[in-house]
Amino acid sequence: MNGLKGPLRSAGMKVTFPDGTTALGSALRERELHSADRDFGLYMDARWAPTWPHTIIDWKDFGLPADPDAAAAAIADAFERARSGVRVEVGCAGGLGRTGTVLACMAVLAGVAAPNAVQWVRDNYSPGAVETLDQRNWVEEFASKRAPK
C-alpha cells in the first residue's frame, strides 16, 4: 500500500471515460509485442520501442513534455482515435505520472471539468496517477487550450 486510497494500479488497466471512450494505461514492464488490446500506442518513454503504430512524446520522467504544443496535439489525436473505436494504449515507464497526466488530459477531452480531471483519473485508474504538482498544473494548462467549449 502507498498511503493513498487502495493499491497502486500502474499498468494494463482499461479506462472508460465519461463519454464512453476507452484507453489502456500501461507501464513499460508490461510491454507486450503482440497485444490484442492495442491498435495504436501513445508513449512518453522511447524505451517502449514499439513496432506497432504509435507516437512517442519526448517527456522526461517526473517532468513535463519537451514540446507542450506537440504533446497536446498528440494527446488530442490519440483521444480522437480512441473515440472512433481504435484501441489506444497510453504508457510510460511506471504507468503513473506521465500516463496519468495524459489520461487526465483525455478525461478533459471526454468532458471532465479541468479542476476534477486529476482526481477523476486517480479514482478511475490509479490513486498514484499524476505524480507531481507540475504535471497537475499541466493538465490545467492543457484544458485551457483544448477543453471542449
**2 located within any domain:** no
Supply 59's cell numbers.
517527456
Instruction: Please answer whether residues 65 and 59 qualify as being in contact, where contact means their C-beta atoms are separated by less than 8 angstroms.
Output: yes
User: Is this model's pTM higher than 0.85 or not?
Assistant: yes
Between CA 41 and CA 67 the distance in angstroms is 18
Residues 45-101 pLDDT 10s: 999 999 999 999 999 999 999 999 999 999 999 999 999 999 999 999 999 999 999
- Domain of 48, CATH number, reads 3.90.190.10
Strands annotated E in 3-148: 13-16, 22-27, 40-43, 54-56, 88-92
The answer to the question of residue 149 being in a domain is no
Within a 10 A sphere around the Cβ of 116, how many other Cβ atoms? 13
149 pLDDT tier (thresholds 50, 70, 90): low
Least confident stretch, 11-20, 56-65, 72-81, 133-142: 11-20
- For the chain, how many structural domains are there in total? 1
Find the domain containing 123 and state its range.
13-141
Q: What gap in Å lies between CA 117 and CA 96, rounded to an integer?
A: 14
Mean per-residue pLDDT, 23-37: 84
